Amino acid sequence: MNSLRNFCVTFIIALVVFGLCAFFITGFVTDSVNGLLSGEKSTESSDVSATETDDAPLNRPDIDDEIEGESFSILLIGTDYRPSILTNYHPDIENQYPYFEDSAQLIGYGGSLPVFPYRTVHADAVMLVCVNKESCKITYMQIPPEMQLSVGGVTTSVRDLYYDKGLTYFINKMSGITGVQIDYYALTSIEQLADVVDAMGSITYTVPCDMEYTDEISGLTISLQAGAQTLTGKDVCGLLAFNSYENSSLSREKTTMAFLKALAQKMTNVTYMNKAAKIFADANKYVATNFTADDLTKNLDLIFSYGSFEIKTVDYPGSYYYRDGERLFNPNISSAITTMLKNK
C-alpha cells in the first residue's frame, strides 16, 4: 500500500478547491452569466523545496479595490478507500464512509484495534488551505499523515486518527494542531479522483518516463510508456502513485504539477463548459464537503481573484524519524500554531 500513501496532495488541492469551484462556477455561469469563464486562466503553485516559499501575484488588486467574499479555511483530505479493488472492509463500512461517526463498531473494542481481517481506511493526504481576503494571500500547509499524536493518552498517527475517531473529531484535532479555525472540509478518495477523470472523458498528458509497477496487495498495476498518452482515470491513479524514478530530475511532485497544468487547461477550456456543469451537478459522487452552493455564490468574487493572490506554502514544523523500519513524523505543534498565525 506504500505506493498509494500520500498519493497526491497537490491534485486534491486543485480538484477539490479550485477544480470543484470551477465546476460550481461553470454551473453558475451557465445558468446566469453565460460566457464569463472564457477569459479566465488557471494558476498553479510551484513545487516546494523549502520550509516557506512565496509566489508573487501577477496582478495584485489595488488596495482600494473591494473583493466580495469572506476569508475562510478549508481542510482537504484524501483517503485510500478503494472498495472496488480491496474487498476486505467491514460489511457496514459503506454506510459510515466518509464520516465514521460510530467507527468503534467497525474497528473493535473502544475503537482501539482493527478486528481481523477487516481493513481500515486512512487519511493519506491532508492539507490545510487558508484564504485571506484582507492580505490577498492563500496559504497551504501539508499535515504529514505519519505525524504522531497523543489522543486520550494513546499515541496514534494522523492517517489512523480519521478512521478511529471519525471525521468531526479529526477536523477538530487538525484545528488544534494548527491553531486555525477550520470553516470547511472536502474529502475524496483515489477512486473518486479516477471517476472525475473518466467523467471528463480522459485527458492527454506527456508521461515523463516509462512507468512499470505492480502492487499485488492493492491490485494497482502501472504500465505507461514515456511520451504523449491519452489517460483514463485508472491510468491517472497509476501515474500519480508511481514513485520509482531512476532519473534524479524527476519526482512524483514534479509529475503531479505537470499533470495539473494539463488538467487545468482542459477544465478551463470554454468547450468543456457543458461537461463541467454536469460534473458539478454530480459533485457529491466525487467529494464530501460542507462547502455549499451558497458558500460558492458568497465567495465567487474572491475565488475569481485567485490568480491575483500571493501563494505561500509552509511545511509543518517537525522532523521525520524511523522506528522499527517505519517512517514517522514528530511534530512541533507550538511552532506550527505560531507559523500559521503569522502566515494565514
Does the pLDDT of residue 11 top 90, yes or no? no
- With 0.95 as the threshold, say if the pTM is over it: no
Spacing of C-alpha 296 from chain mean position = 18
Closest to 85 in 3D by CA, of 218, 238, 233 = 218
Residue 125: other Cβ atoms inside 10 A: 25
Instruction: Identify which has the larger pLDDT, 104 or 51.
Output: 104
Note the pLDDT of residue 323: 92
Task: Give the gyration radius of the chain's Cα atoms.
Answer: 20
Q: Are 48 and 10 in contact (CB under 8 A)?
A: no
CA distance 24 to 303: 11
Q: Which three cell numbers stand for residue 285?
A: 459522487
Instruction: Identify which has the larger pLDDT, 53 or 295.
Output: 295
Note the pLDDT of residue 26: 42
pLDDT tens-digit readout, 200-228? 777 888 999 999 988 766 667 888 999 99
Q: Which of 13-22, 294-303, 315-324, 335-344 has the lowest mean pLDDT?
A: 13-22
